[in-house]
Structure 1
Amino acid sequence: MSKDLALVTGGNGHLANNLIRLLVSKNQNVRTTVRDINNTAPFKGLDCEVVQANLLNKATLRKACKDVTHIYAVAANFSMWAKDPKTEIYDNNLKGTQNLFDSAKACGVKNIVYVSSVAALDFNTLPANVDNGYNTDRRNWYYNSKNDSDKLALALGETYNIRTVLILPSAMIGSQAHKLSYSNNLVYQILKGEIPVDTNVTLNWVDVKDVAFGAYQAMLKGKDQERYILSNPTHTTLQDSVNIAAKLYPELQLKTPKKVPKCLLYTVAGLMEFSSKLTGKEPLLQRHYLDMFYGLKQDYDIRKSKEELDFNPKPSKQALEEALRYLKTDWKVQ
């Protein structure tokens, strides 16, 4: 047994929980953080230490980092909408990053694999890659938070002399979920026939277990101050995604979503945004979301991850089929 102690933040999240399972299978000593210490179901049968901590509470983070040799910084606020997005999404993600690195520095942690996102890539040239810099579109507070916390993590790593390797996953889907992630929920909506129209927004599906392996490899082999995309090379359209589900489960009689003009989608989005102000619930469609993603092909250059991390994800169609099977057969509404 290694004397090293790995800390995985946000252990009940989709990626973090799969990563913990991988690390435990490699006979690593693992500690993980949760905000609710009574939420024990995700760790049943797992040989890992579970502690209470919150990224916005530096005292709890300091305790969690004690005796830790390396950190997988997975926990973050992944929300595309909030009543006060600047505070609830942007400020929280930046403050959480600062607090984690401050705590790591205080406790002598030497290595951090920081989970960023493909949201922090420049899509002006496709396929997007890490050499083209950061996303120049500043219309979404979640995207802004991933861009700026990505930069902050690299800057703090350099300042604090902590080896810092960044991974940038795309839409993670698949098994071993204890709550529906944003991406798994979209797959679940496809299964339930809740995709009536094609918004001309593409997805880049990747199996969460492949991302967990990429994170593990990043800790072992990733270069300090480098960023690695963990995705598939090419996108899948919403129509194709529904058609894959329809072919897999013909008895569901899923219908291919119809394409509608952007102007009509824009009108509907405006009405949904107005309604959300009254209900306080996230609108299913937002105008700035259409502005950012309508027609955008989410294709990525993953050669660097393949060469330096031995990252070789299963094809997106296979990842989607396996996620569909899992969510139809094994997922229980929590």
Structure 2
Amino acid sequence: MMIRLRRLRKNEKIREMLNESRIHLSNFVYPLFVVEGNNIKNQIKSMPDVYQMSIDNILKECDNLQNLGISHIILFGIPDIKDSIGSSALSHDSIVAKAVHAIKERFSDMIISVDLCFCEYTDHGHCGILDSNNDVDNDKTLEILAKQAVILASSGADIIAPSAMMDGQIKAIRNALDSNNLTNTLIMSYSTKFASAFYGPFRDVADSTPSFGSRNTYQQNPANRSEAIRESLLDESEGADILMVKPALSYLDIVRDIRENSRLPLAVYNVSGEYAMLKAAKMAKLIDYERALLEMMISFKRAGANIIISYHAKEIANLI
């Protein structure tokens, strides 16, 4: 048997034929960060090759993505004005709603997911409305999450991606969408989102660092495996169409656990800290960057992910 295995490994074409896990551009979602204004393209120091862009440059980027073969994006908005309840997200003139409409007008076949949260829109940086104790009020936040979901779906978003980690958010959003005849809008839930140290660079690009405290009370404890599985299965029971684990690299065991317990499509978010670390290793010439990048992507697929949200997507397009 060992001789036969060695023979299989020696032939590159046979090795390729027998690959158990493969990556394809259709697996990838590319994050974009949209700001108000025109001709804006702000480089993010902690995330090489990632930018905040105005809608005109977002449209140019979508054209570039389609030429590369990438047809799915996820949008994050950075508004000019923030307040205690994130009211700038609750209007058809919100920056993301305007961006969705503009993209769909120009690129009708682009799949648009929209991040659904309030951390970018509130002046305190938390993911919803605060109560008198400065804790997030879960039930009041559900109301504005549902309203934001209806606005973005009405603007043309194909997939709503709630990331606020409020209890009952999937049920509330699903009911709101169905009540407004938006039954074909999918929900890709950040169903198992950990309170992670790997989000730091994202908070630079999204301008979403909390002004006090942390999000530990509503994001997942990194130590809790069983709870992580339950969270995703609960979102499935409430009507999620796609589940997600975030971050990806440090939680591949959770990805595999959820894959073995659910038949829903499963996404991973290859987050900003993971991206920045690999880029730093490349700049320091510590690794074979392209091989390491592909190896990382294969690990996500091998663990059970169908969808990979990654800032590396354009690089992957050029490699494969």
**TM-score, normalised relative to structure 1:** 0.34
Provide the TM-score with structure 2 as the length reference. 0.36
